[in-house]
Structure 1
Amino acid sequence: MAVQAILTDIEGTTSSIGFVYDVLFPYARERMKDYVQQHAAELNEQLEAVRLEAQEPEAEPARVAEILVQWMAEDRKATVLKDVQGKIWREGYLSGALQGHVYADAVNALQQWHAMGLQLYVYSSGSIEAQKLIFGYSVAGDLTPLFTGYFDTTSGAKRERESYQRIAEAIDKPVDSILFLSDVVQELDAARAAGMQTCGLAREGGVLGDHQTVASFAEVKI
């Protein structure tokens, strides 16, 4: 079926893995303790979520911050962690300290696809707020007008077929008319198992399983 909507990953796909691990993560980690303590009142819901998940119901904000930093070191895909990280990054973007990295070929292709009338969506393990920030304050300017919607781990884990089924239902397009772009084989496998079309981004070369694999967005066939 002809492609009607494109669902794209961020890290390693539209944006550099290095930007996430070498810029965003250190930025959040260095500011986590101060941010959580200074904003404890407005983060009450998040603090309670961390206490519950860590099974430390009496944890003070400073201890909650330690837990979040530990989860970062473990690369845990906890929704509450992504939420707090996104709030810290928001301050960085608004102050000009951060600027979202997006590959030039991704910018060009997204603009072309949007002009063609295709609906564009994002699916990342980062929070929806973090997704909007990386595209809203990107090196290429505000790219958010290109996107129709965003999905994060509240839709499910990225390596589970059911997550892509939920997203297809939310997009309200035939599942086989949705093209999913990612640099991770297991994510591509899960999307295909749900019925989506797939294309792998291998920017350093190579192939991603038996999926169509390209080195840049310019090579993606619609």
Structure 2
Amino acid sequence: MINAQAAGVLMDVEGTTSSVKFVYDVMFPFARRELAAYLAQAWGEPACQAACEQIAADAGHASLEAWSSTADAAPRDLVETEATRLMDADQKATGLKQLQGLIWKNGFDSGEMVAHVYPDVPPALDRWRAAGADLRIYSSGSIQAQNLFFGHTQQGDLLPLLSGHYDTTTGPKREAASYTSIAADWGLAPASILFLSDITAELDAARDAGLQTALLLRPDNAPVEPGHGHAEVSSFGEIEVRP
């Protein structure tokens, strides 16, 4: 058991609140399958264009138009090719995550996708909120995708239990500065935040920023090397939080 004195709990998603398998076996294949159709259908929409411009920026170009001129290729073809390459490499690029979030919206809105969360998560969120803790998410998935995910779970809409969301626009999850920025935005001292993740490198970065940490040992998570120095739990039911 972990008894944490914390005003806030910051949570990762895959491997922490939710199964890695759902993300990799359901969400990622859906985005890959629907990529071309989505770009064709939504190309002129502002949200789609914003994501595509970010993909161009992530690739080192001043704009999508400049990229198209340099490559002598249609902008939509460039975006589709680059997004596919990033997915093949399992890259956490901001533009890709924005585009995936837009594609996933169709899946969640249609009911084709319903997000998996571990059964111990909702009661723990209820318990921590009742104790007075502020609960937030930090994921490589876009904030839009996070809202879709937690708004359409097998346990119902969990968004009312969450007070905020952070993604890679704040910074990489394996850099201490990202957690410093989150604490500042939150208005909490780093030491008063408990960060939960299944990735030791993320926990290391959070600890370097002064946060409390705990490692989730969920089924199907990657093996963890010993000696990492973080408290270990297999369930949110093993964590008690008091502000």
Q: Is the 8 A contact 2:128 2:240 kept in 1?
A: no
SS at match of 1:113: helix
Q: Which residue of 1 aligns with 2:137?
A: 122
Work out which structure has the larger RCO, using CA pairs closer than 8 Å and 6 or more positions apart in sequence: 2
Q: CA deviation at 1:99?
A: 0.3
Query: How do residues 97-112 of structure 1 correspond to structure 2 at under 5 angstroms?
Result: 97-112=112-127
Q: Which segments of 5 or more consecutive residues in structure 2 lack a partner in the other structure?
A: 69-73
> How many residue pairs get matched?
222
Per-residue CA deviation, residues 150-200 of structure 1 (Å, 9 max, x unaligned), is 000011000000000000001101110100000000000100110000111
Aligned partner letter, 2:20? I
RMSD (Å), alpha carbons: 1.6
Aligned partner letter, 2:67? P
Residue range with higher mean Cα deviation, 87-96 or 46-55: 46-55
Tell me which stretches of 4 or more aligned residues in structure 1 moved more than 6 Å: none
* TM-score normalized by the length of structure 1: 0.95
Q: Which residue of 2 aligns with 1:57?
A: 67
Q: Which segments of 5 or more consecutive residues in structure 1 lack a partner in the other structure?
A: none
Q: Which residue of 1 aligns with 2:71?
A: none
Match of 1:154 among 157, 165, 169: 169
Residue range with higher mean Cα deviation, 7-16 or 108-117: 108-117
Could you tell me the percent identity over the aligned residues? 45
Aligned partner letter, 1:62? D
SS at match of 2:196: strand
Aligned partner letter, 1:195? G
Per-residue CA deviation, residues 106-153 of structure 1 (Å, 9 max, x unaligned), is 111111111222100000000001111111000000000001100000
1:195 and 2:210 are equivalent in the alignment:
yes
Aligned partner letter, 2:120? D
1:219 and 2:238 are equivalent in the alignment:
yes
Q: CA deviation at 1:221?
A: 3.8
Q: CA deviation at 1:208?
A: 7.2
Q: Which residue of 1 aligns with 2:52?
A: 47
Residues 1:67 and 1:208: Cα distance change in structure 2 (over 3 Å): farther
Query: How do residues 20-35 of structure 1 correspond to structure 2 at under 5 angstroms?
Result: 20-35=23-38
